[in-house]
Chains A and B, each alone.
Chain A
């Protein structure tokens, strides 16, 4: 029977990655670890090795075997855990990860690092304790003889059945090697009053006729009982039948697949079982009844369907699949706690109850039942909301998935920079949408690198400033309103306002006489091409700056904010939406069209008062909102729509903010606020300027979701064009006047 195991490979890969994460984090914690820590590292390596062997990834098995051997020595206390070992093991984790990723992506990998680490491991092992030997003892090749006859004497110890071994099944296995004749010898059987039903008193004389069975093959069958029996295996010449050696035995002809035991044995043995106590009876009959019956057709029934059975997951986890995802390290599946699934099932149950109630109501509806209908619909709304929330929660993963790479990163960076840095992580159980998680990793890495490189000062500088030599970086995640906040904080030197200001001046980002608040100065570091690193280190400042970090975070619908106190450190706060799939929206009407404005961008909505409207030169309209002058953007003009309100006077305005810019969107009407499911325009049609996506409303119509930052930059562009046009016209007019 050949079974295809490839369906289990994704699970194996997923497990391996988890195991590697565990190994890495445990290795980093080894100094204040205990036996259990080293044990868990060993187990993870052990599982990866076993799985890799099973699924035919020999290169992973071989490499991991070295790692496991080293860990085994540490585990047994035969090897001291020193820095060198930990570093090699960390490098090994990287190597295994490289190989597993290559398997996952069906890709090649560069073997040089693996060879190097193998060598380091081998050297360590050679200098260490005795090398744990592994591998099966391989039987020496024996010349293959045809038509061998083996004589096997098998005298089991009395307690053999108590380890679950069953001689008859061993004989079955021997039958697979050739023709077998079994003789049971009963001379050691005590009298019925002295018999102990849990003991085995019989021994056997077996004759095996086989074309190709070697002694090793036979020994393998008895492998598990070799310490609990006398086993004598002799090769008889072909024409020598086994001489009868005792009066008790009677050679029998045997039909294929049956085993015959002489009848006396059978009759005597089970007869006393009735006297044995009930608990033992079951066991004893199992052990002995087998000696009673000629076992017929012992092969397990082959099930005709080799349909892959649904793989069951351990109780703690279950798996749902989603559409194939792209991107490295994404297995396209998500592990979800059983509790989440249970709550979904409950909610669906409630939904079904509500549905049946409503359809009952609809069967013979009359106006007297309106109240019931209203209640039922409210129930339905409640069910739907809860169900939606639960479904969204399935996509949420604890942020530790993004955080757990940092201990290693800090460990490596600290070594590289010669700084002493402690990392403190909080809130790693805060949950975040999987998609957001996958995309926030890189920006976070950049921010952490930045904190190490530019934040934390070298030890001598810290000591001079009266701080501890060891710098600290805090990673924190928590909920705030409808967002997740990720904080990267350091107790380093803070941002040097003057240096930033001068740099920005030099780059022509600001005017020399500009008066900026601290906040505005700090925000300059997110400008493209801005870097204050005196020398470009290879840690950060690889031409990828904070501007890219900011752009990536904005692409996720998030924002970043920096705070800094000179001499005390900096705090970067990243605000992210809980999910990318659903948006809280304000529905607005322009002409006959409905648009969705993301609620998160709305500052306020108001009716424009004529006396606050300020028309500047050209067509630009500014609206005075307390101390701000807000540019007004007529949506109907932007998208060439007919609209009720063509002028600003008394029009409805939705004031929105993006990138620190406020604008007023002119609309005809404000409708409901509701959560909408975002559908991509790009996937279904194409990118449209000013529109970030679309959604389907309750009445089945499609509404566009406004891209507020996009609209603001569109409006700026239009204003600039108009301005240029005006200047051109003005110069023409001037020329005309002069001439």
Chain B
């Protein structure tokens, strides 16, 4: 089953995403900021990264750039959790190598339906 890395500085959102994914049979790894996410990403075979944009220590955009530098993450889908669905935000995410974005707030059904586009 696919393994998803969930990076968000908000416990509740992280718990919610993780819980939803686990209920759908995915395995999850969690991190509270980009730096932690980057460390955890390198420790296992991650099939998908879902990350918040605004985080302390290392934000989601930087995390995305850093991950894309790693050979193992060259093709790994990376989704940004964002409420800023502005064009600018999407472009910054894309420029950093993000696969796509999820606009907050989302419900579990929406989350699962959406990640089906990037992970089996």
Contact of B103 among A136, A161, A300 (CB under 8 A): A136
Contact B105 A53 (CB under 8 A): yes
> Nearest Cβ distance between residue A171 and chain B, in whole angstroms?
10
Contact of A3 among B19, B101, B117 (CB under 8 A): B19
Q: B78 contacts which chain A residues (CB < 8 A)?
A: 163-164
Q: B77 contacts which chain A residues (CB < 8 A)?
A: 164-166
* Interface check B97, CB cutoff 8 A: yes
> Nearest Cβ distance between residue A338 and chain B, in whole angstroms?
13
Q: Which residue of B lies closest to A72 (CB)?
A: B84
Tell me the chain A residues, 292-315 only, with Cβ under 8 Å from chain B: 295, 298-303, 306, 308-309, 311-315
Q: Which residue of A lies closest to B33 (CB)?
A: A314
Q: Which residue of B lies closest to A53 (CB)?
A: B105
Contact A300 B24 (CB under 8 A): yes
Size bracket, chain B contacts: 35 or more
Contact A308 B100 (CB under 8 A): no
| Given known A15-B10, A51-B10, A54-B104, contact A308–B19 (CB-CB < 8 A) | yes
Contact A40 B76 (CB under 8 A): no
> Nearest Cβ distance between residue B115 and chain A, in whole angstroms?
9
Contact of A51 among B12, B68, B76, B97 (CB under 8 A): B12
Among A280-288, A388-396, A508-516, A540-548, the one that faces the other chain is A280-288
Tell me the chain B residues, 105-119 only, with Cβ under 8 Å from chain A: 105-109, 112-113, 116-119
* Interface check B20, CB cutoff 8 A: yes
Interface centre among B9, B12, B72, B116, by most chain A C-beta atoms within 10 angstroms, is: B12
Contact B19 A311 (CB under 8 A): yes
Q: A526 contacts which chain B residues (CB < 8 A)?
A: none
Q: How far is the CA of A306 from the CA of B7 in the complex (A)?
A: 22
| Given known A134-B83, A283-B75, A300-B2, contact A313–B98 (CB-CB < 8 A) | no
> Nearest Cβ distance between residue A228 and chain B, in whole angstroms?
8
Contact of A43 among B11, B19, B54, B85 (CB under 8 A): B54
* Interface check B69, CB cutoff 8 A: no
Q: How far is the CA of A132 from the CA of B18 in the complex (A)?
A: 30
Q: B92 contacts which chain A residues (CB < 8 A)?
A: none
Q: Which residue of A lies closest to B74 (CB)?
A: A283
| Given known A61-B105, A132-B86, contact A282–B72 (CB-CB < 8 A) | yes
Q: How far is the CA of A280 from the CA of B24 in the complex (A)?
A: 30
Contact of B117 among A8, A221, A279 (CB under 8 A): A221
Interface code B55-85, partner A: CB below 8 Å = 1, 0 otherwise? 1100000000000100110111110010111
Q: B84 contacts which chain A residues (CB < 8 A)?
A: 132, 134
> Nearest Cβ distance between residue B4 and chain A, in whole angstroms?
11
Contact A8 B16 (CB under 8 A): yes
Tell me the chain A residues, 156-183 only, with Cβ under 8 Å from chain B: 161-166, 169-170, 172-173, 176
Q: Which residue of B lies closest to A1 (CB)?
A: B109
> Nearest Cβ distance between residue A427 and chain B, in whole angstroms?
26
* Interface check A454, CB cutoff 8 A: no
Interface residues contributed by chain A, number (CB under 8 Å):
69
Contact B12 A309 (CB under 8 A): no
Contact B94 A163 (CB under 8 A): yes
Q: How far is the CA of A95 from the CA of B109 in the complex (A)?
A: 31
Q: How far is the CA of A707 from the CA of B28 in the complex (A)?
A: 55
Contact B36 A169 (CB under 8 A): no
Q: How far is the CA of A166 from the CA of B113 in the complex (A)?
A: 15
Q: How far is the CA of A413 from the CA of B91 in the complex (A)?
A: 47
Q: How far is the CA of A176 from the CA of B115 in the complex (A)?
A: 13
Q: Which residue of A lies closest to B119 (CB)?
A: A169
Q: B71 contacts which chain A residues (CB < 8 A)?
A: 279-280, 283
| Given known A164-B99, A287-B75, contact A43–B86 (CB-CB < 8 A) | no
* Interface check A227, CB cutoff 8 A: yes
Contact B25 A134 (CB under 8 A): no
Contact A300 B120 (CB under 8 A): yes
Contact B100 A47 (CB under 8 A): no
Interface code A108-147, partner B: CB below 8 Å = 1, 0 otherwise? 0000000000000000000000001111110000000000
Contact of A227 among B2, B25, B30, B94 (CB under 8 A): B94
Q: Which residue of B lies closest to A297 (CB)?
A: B120
Interface code B25-57, partner A: CB below 8 Å = 1, 0 otherwise? 110001010001000000000000000001110
Q: How far is the CA of A136 from the CA of B104 in the complex (A)?
A: 10
| Given known A11-B11, A12-B12, A54-B13, contact A46–B83 (CB-CB < 8 A) | yes
Q: B85 contacts which chain A residues (CB < 8 A)?
A: 134-137
Q: How far is the CA of A135 from the CA of B86 in the complex (A)?
A: 8
| Given known A224-B99, A308-B19, A312-B30, contact A1–B119 (CB-CB < 8 A) | no
Can you name 22 A-B pairs with beta carbons within 8 Å? Answer: A1-B24, A3-B108, A8-B12, A8-B19, A11-B15, A15-B12, A50-B81, A54-B13, A54-B105, A136-B85, A137-B85, A162-B75, A169-B120, A172-B120, A173-B117, A221-B117, A224-B101, A227-B91, A301-B25, A311-B15, A314-B30, A314-B36
Residues of chain A at the chain B interface (Cβ within 8 Å): 1-3, 5, 8-9, 11-12, 14-15, 40, 42-43, 46-47, 49-55, 61, 132-137, 161-166, 169-170, 172-173, 176, 198, 221, 223-225, 227-228, 279-280, 282-283, 286-287, 295, 298-303, 306, 308-309, 311-316
Question: Besides the contacts A50-B81, A136-B85, A298-B116, what 14 more A-B pairs have beta carbons closer than 8 Å?
Answer: A8-B12, A9-B12, A43-B56, A47-B9, A47-B13, A134-B86, A162-B68, A164-B98, A166-B118, A170-B117, A303-B23, A309-B19, A309-B23, A314-B32
Residues of chain B at the chain A interface (Cβ within 8 Å): 1-2, 9-16, 18-20, 22-26, 30, 32, 36, 54-56, 68, 71-72, 74-78, 81, 83-86, 91, 94, 97-101, 103-109, 112-113, 116-120
Q: What 10 pairs between A and B have smallest CB-CB spacing?
A: A53-B105, A224-B100, A164-B77, A12-B12, A164-B99, A314-B32, A303-B25, A47-B10, A3-B108, A50-B104
